[in-house]
Structures are given as C-alpha cells and as structure tokens.
Structure 1
Amino acid sequence: MQAISELPDAEAGHPDIDVRYDGVTVRLITLTDDFYGLSERDVELARGISALARTLGIPADPSAVQTVQVTVDALAGPDVVRFWRALLGYTDRANSPEDLIDPHRRGAPFYFQRMDSPRPQRNRVHVDVWVPYDQAEARIAAAVAVGGRLVSDAHAPSHWVLADPEGNEACVGTAGWTGPEPTRR
C-alpha cells in the first residue's frame, strides 16, 4: 500500500485496496458528477501499479479484472430508485438520477433502465442484501416506507423477502442471528 501511494497520481486516483488472505485487489474507478467508470488516469495508474507489482515479484491476474453493475428495468424509475436507495443504503450519483452508488465504494452500483412496457413473466434475478442482525428491521422499514412491500417474513429473523413498487424482489438476510431457528409466521 505504501508503494502504491507513492506512485504519480495515486492520490488523485483514490485506489481502493482490498487485502485478503489469498491476495490483494486494487480497484480504480473514477466517480465525478459527470462520469462513473474507468478513466484514462485510472488506466495509467493501473499500468504503474502493475509495473510496481512486477518489480516486487507479485504476480498479477488480469483475468480477475471486472466491475459489476446491477441493472434493474423499471417502468416507474423514481419510485423503484427510492426503494433500492433505502434498502441498500446507497446514494444517488450526482447528475444521474438513474444511478445509485455505494457511498463506501464496496458494493456494485445499481443502474435503473427505463422500460416501455411490463414483462409478462416473473423476474428471474433478485438481489440479496446482507446486513448485521440489529440493522435489518430498520433497512426493511426504510424500503417499505418508500413504496416497497414485504413479500414474506416466513424465515424472519434470518431473512425477509421484499419487492420494489414494480415487483422486483430482494431478500434481506442477517448476519449475527444467534436465536433459535425461526418458525414460519
């Protein structure tokens, strides 16, 4: 981390450095009022970090490079965005009301794409949001307060199923539940 911080433009690039038992991941992404993505500055800084890794004998795995974005098709975009903002604890990306981002830069961004007509089939993808046990009810209440609905609490307090105003589902799971196995409500 020290060596990366000494590279030119490292401070301006704000690299996110994730240290784990099996390796180190450096994430570069530019987030401004007008741009979200990989900038030319990020590419140059990545080249510098790769060169630094080679000099230190640290192998790189370019096949592991990725950015994940979750895209939700929506008819009533603002209503759907409010639900996901409340559920995820995300913030709007400036000048882009159809984008939500993790203010801590850890989770995937969400993009809400305008749909012209509803789909006849059920959604085939849903999002699982894991939060500490003592935060789950507040997250659920915030999502319901902005137009979401509770689909099922059959497995509460270990997890709940919610839906946004258009029926896109999300599960809220808890970490840290130490009580007895939940019973069906």
Structure 2
Amino acid sequence: MTTPRTTLTATEVSAQVDARHWRVLLNRVHAAFHTGSFERGLELATRIAAVAEQLDHHPDVHLTYPRVQVSVLTHDAGGLTAKDVALAAAISAVADELGLDAEVPVLSALEVAIDALDIPAVYPFWRAVLGYVPEELPGADDPSPALLDPAGRGPAVWFQQMDAPRPQRNRIHLDVTVPHDVAEERVAAALAAGGHLVSDERAPAFWVLADAEGNEACVCTWQARD
C-alpha cells in the first residue's frame, strides 16, 4: 500500500488527480483557477489554507487578479506523494463549491539551463550573482546541480554537462515545461511565430526549438520521463 512518504511517478499522479484542474509540471502538481476578482481569489486562498491545515500539508498559493495558482509538493520526500493527491482533491472540492473553473493553458514552469564544461567552476558564480540557494534532494549523496530562488518566484537554474566546447551554438537556453496536453499546441504556435524545429527526437519529453537567429528553447512535459 502506498504510504504518504512514498514518492509517486508523474504517470501515477496524473492518473489520480482531477484532470479538469491539475497537471504535473517538473516535480510538482499545479492548478490555476479563474476567480475573476481579487476578492474572490482571496476567498479561494483562504479556503485552501483551511483544508491545508486540516490535512497538515501546505501548498504554494499565488494570488493575483484574476486567478489563483496553486502548486503542491511533499518537500521532505523530495517528490510527489499520496499527500499531494489528497490535497489536490480537497482543493478541487473547494473550487467546485465556489463554482470556479480551471485555466490549464496558463500553467507553465520555467527553467534556465546553462551548458558547462566545468560545472563546479561556474556554479558558485551563478549562485552568488543570483542570490539563489542549492536545490536540496532528500536522500541524494551529491548536491543537485540546480539553483532555486529562495523566495520561490524566479525560474530555477540548472547546469547541463557538456562533453566538448560548442562555440557554434548558445550555451544558455530556456526550458519551458507545460501541461502535456498543451505542449503540441505551444510548439505549433512557436513555429508559426517564426521559430523552427531543431529536434523532436526526445518528444514528448521535450522539443528543441529555435528563433530566427538560432536562440534555443525547449518545450518540455513530464511524459516519457518515468
């Protein structure tokens, strides 16, 4: 039987949460609810806080006009667990009681990827200049090569090991993680806007795209990663 601290795969979580509201992006499950007003959003956030206290499991809540975005992760497990599935279900129930609809297409998670030949040499610079902190992975023997905004607002920065210099291409690119059922539409929109496809070899995990001058971005999903 699954225990609250047993991590679940993205496939398992996607199958268990309410598909009207929730999508797995990176290592969290996310939802966005259209509230239409700041006051209505505050009401939703307050109700979410109440169920989070009842379940002793607390999400990140971002209140703006005209929506509330929520993300859930079991921090001490370093991933998604049954606790997250249960909290997502409780939040969905609150949204239904308030008559609020989800806005799946607005969901995304942004990362900045830096290709490096010597990650230990460049890592301290980026940690210092950004004021970021190392990502902590419970149970990992080595520290993660990722840096996170301690305020939880800026994009994560991670370092990709290069095996040889590649002066002909950019060494910093954006990874844009979107809901799996939005990815192909996002790729098509980028191509229609003047971009071109560099590679779809690893799709649906990610598509590599570039703008008219060759600056790259990857559109990513959780699929094909379990």
Q: What's the TM-score once normalised by structure 2's chain length?
A: 0.48
Give the equivalent residue in structure 2 for 1:110.
157
C-alpha contact 1:75 1:116 (8 A) present in aligned 2: yes
Deviations along 1:124-165, one digit per CA (max 9) or x if unpaired, are 7568xxxxxxxxxxxxxxxxxxxxxxxxxxxxxxxxxxxxxx
Matched residues in 1 for 2:158 and 2:126: separation? 10
Residue 46 of structure 1 pairs with residue 93 of structure 2:
no
Based on CA coordinates, which of the two structures has the bigger radius of gyration? 1
The answer as to 2:71 corresponding to 1:27 is yes
Cα offset, 1:11, TM superposition: 6.6
How far off is 1:51 after superposition? 1.8
Q: 1:65 to 1:126 in 2, by over 3 A?
A: closer
Post-superposition Cα deviations, 1:48-100, rounded to whole Å, max 9, x if no partner, equal 21221011111112333332222222111012211211121110123524011
Equivalences for residues 1-185 of structure 1 within 5 A: 1-7=45-51, 12-32=56-76, 35=78, 37-94=79-136, 95=140, 96-123=143-170, 125=172
Report if aligned partners of 2:113, 2:173 keep a CA contact under 8 Å in 1. Answer: no
Structure 1 unmatched runs, 5+: 128-185
- Considering Cα pairs closer than 8 Å and 6+ residues apart, tell me whether 1 or 2 has the greater RCO: 2
The CA distance in 2 between the partners of 1:51 and 1:79, in whole Å, is: 48
SS at match of 2:101: coil
Q: Once superposed, what is the RMSD of the aligned Cα atoms?
A: 2.6
**Alignment check: 8 A CA contact 2:114 2:171 kept:** no
More strand by share: 1
Query: Identity over the aligned pairs, expressed in percent?
Result: 41
Q: CA deviation at 1:42?
A: 2.3
- C-alpha contact 1:91 1:100 (8 A) present in aligned 2: yes
1:15 and 1:9 map into 2 onto residues whose CA distance is 10
- 2: CA distance, partners of 1:63 / 1:16: 19
Aligned partner of residue 21 in structure 1, secondary structure: coil
8 Å Cα contact 1:10/1:45 also seen in 2:
no
Query: Within 2, Cα distance between the matches of 1:124 and 1:17?
Result: 33
Question: TM-score scaled to structure 1, two decimals?
Answer: 0.57
Q: Say whether the 8 Å CA contact 2:59–2:70 is kept in structure 1.
A: yes
Cα 1:109–1:13 shift into 2, 3 Å = farther
